[in-house]
Amino acid sequence: MDKINVLFVSSELAPIIKVGGLADVAGALPKCLLDFINIQVVIPKYKIIPTPQPATIPGSDVKINYIDIPEYFSSRDNVYGYPDDPIRFAMFSQKVVQDIKDEKFGRVDIVHINDYHTSLIPILLKDIGLNNVKTMLTIHNLGPAYQGRYSLEILDALKLQKYHSTIEIDKSDNQINLLLQGVLNANIVSTVSSTYAKEILTKEYGGEIEDFMELRKSNLYGILNGIDYSIYDPDKDDKIYSKYNISNYKMGKLENKKRLIDELHLKFSTDAPLFAFISRLDYQKGIDILIKAMETLENKNANFIILGTGAKDFEDQLQILGTKDPSLFADITFDITLAEKIYAGADALIIPSRYEPSGLTQMIAMKYGTLPIVRSTGGLKDSVEGLVSGFTFEEYSPLSLVNTLKEALSMFNTPKWDEMIQTAMNEDFSWGRSAEKYVALYQQLVSNL
């Protein structure tokens, strides 16, 4: 049987162009899929992509195709953040479909699309009669802000030729929801953890389109994201102060902790646990309950490092709190190198997310022997087992987080803590395991051709 031909379409691709977690997936998953199928990637040709553009994903033979529409991409300084973002990516999607029709990618059996940016591809394929090309949509975040809502003028820009029932359903509010069009028209819909696949059927997590998600329930799948251990491995990581592995993690982590504290000119004690938070400063990531928890945690024999940027009110609160509390260091910046130093030097990573489709930081933390303290939701629930590989809590509240921090404090430097570190470091979240599940879905799609 010939190999399946998959076109993976994304708005980001690490390490070439990265804004968020989608880039990590797009840069890692296709490399693992290449062992099973023929796959190539398509991304927009942004102005900020280095010249010459890499022909393949670094470290692999996966071909990268760049599509430029100068008005929308190569003439603009940023990846996102423009009022017409939905139109920009709709036009990109339309060009991808035209190139499929013109066979510029060779034979395409399946188009694997990601998030709202590429979600019009299924309906655009139908619009020009390419019904033999199957589609799979992966949702990395269903939050209302990530759905690509735009006025009906987007239909004129695309010049859709035929009546489509899903557009008629969607446009009753005088807007088109790009992600919803993908949900309703893709042959298969997946998301990035099995728990999140269940959560998005509910009102709490369904991003106001939970009723439509319910309609696709029989074709909805959850596959947990992985991490690239060629990048995230304390035994190979040149960014950290001192390399280590599971056989010498105690000395390795202590050395990294001491040197992290020295570099940041902190007066933290290495005998006290060092808790870290590395993330965007917004409500999704739970920074609101973390700030309240730190304010109310009494007699804490612990130190905190916060790394991230985001909403200005949270940035301001952290800076004010940092001037009052000598146990808190808040660095309002985005620094990848410092992040990896913190993974290696911290004792625990706090991830108190309101919701978390998959999450990568908890997986990275575990590989570095840094125990995750997580709210049990989405991919956090699927990857962290309470009192086995980390600490978990259910209720989204400062009190629940405070109680879990106290639990972690009571176990620090005990045999149980060491046992949990060893379990966490031995976990396997490599992309190979996830890739096999994606291949199974691809095979399911082509069996219906």
Q: What ranges make up the beta strands (E) of 82-233?
A: 110-114, 134-139, 149-151, 175-177, 188-191, 220-222
The structure tokens listed for 157 are 């820009």
Strand, helix or coil at 350? strand
10 Å CB burial of residue 268 (0-12, 13-18, 19+) is buried
In contact, 147 and 116? CB cutoff 8 Å: yes
In contact, 197 and 220? CB cutoff 8 Å: yes
Q: What is the pLDDT of residue 405?
A: 97
Strand, helix or coil at 39? strand
pLDDT profile of the chain (449 residues), mean per 10: 92 94 94 96 96 94 97 96 97 98 97 98 95 97 96 89 84 94 98 98 97 97 95 96 98 98 95 96 97 88 95 96 93 93 98 97 98 98 98 98 97 97 97 95 87
Domains in the chain (CATH in brackets) are 5-226+432-446 (3.40.50.2000), 249-428 (3.40.50.2000)
- Predicted TM-score (pTM) of the model is 0.95
Q: What is the pLDDT of residue 15?
A: 92
Query: For the stretch 351-367, what's the b/e string if a residue is b when 16 or more beta carbons lie within 10 angstroms of its beta carbon?
Result: bbbbbbbbbbbbbbbbb
Q: What ranges make up the beta strands (E) of 308-353?
A: 328-331, 348-351
H/E stretch holding 88? helix 85-101
Using alpha carbons, list the distances in angstroms from residue 271 to 124, 265, 414, 440.
60, 17, 13, 48
Q: How far apart are CA 332 and CA 350, in angstroms?
A: 17
Residues found in the chain: 449
